[in-house]
Amino acid sequence: MMDWHLIGLSFITVFLSELGDKSQLAAIALSGRSQAPRAVFFGTAGALLLTSLLGALAGGAVAEFLPTRLLKIIAAVGFAILAIRLLFFGDGESEAES
């Protein structure tokens, strides 16, 4: 039986986190230079599907060995570290890329 709540939550989480990230900007750049935006769509969609599949499989494998609460703590700490990096060190990276 499908867990529609989990499907919706996963969709919203990934959709919001992918808006405006580097992969979306790369897709915009590729489709802008290309005469085949449909091919760019299928290539980028396939890549996102594959990385999501790998993440889900890895998460399922790790969940066999670690308790769910510990996995949530690890994920929260990881996101907090990324947020702090972006808040305090993000400006230097964008200037270096320019």
For 66-97, what is each residue's pLDDT tens digit? 998 998 899 899 989 988 988 888 665 444 55
The structure's pTM equals 0.58
Contact 40, 27 (CB under 8 A): yes
Q: What is the mean pLDDT of residues 1-22?
A: 84
Q: How confident is the model at residue 98 (pLDDT cuts 50, 70, 90)?
A: very low
Indicate the residue type of 63: A
Q: What is the mean pLDDT of residues 45-62?
A: 89
Q: Could you state, in order of their start, the residue ranges of all structural domains in the chain? A: 1-65, 67-98
What residues contact 71, with CB distance under 8 A and at least 6 apart?
59, 62, 63
pLDDT, residue 21, reads: 78
What does the CA dihedral 48, 52, 53, 59 come to, rounded to 10 degrees?
A: 160
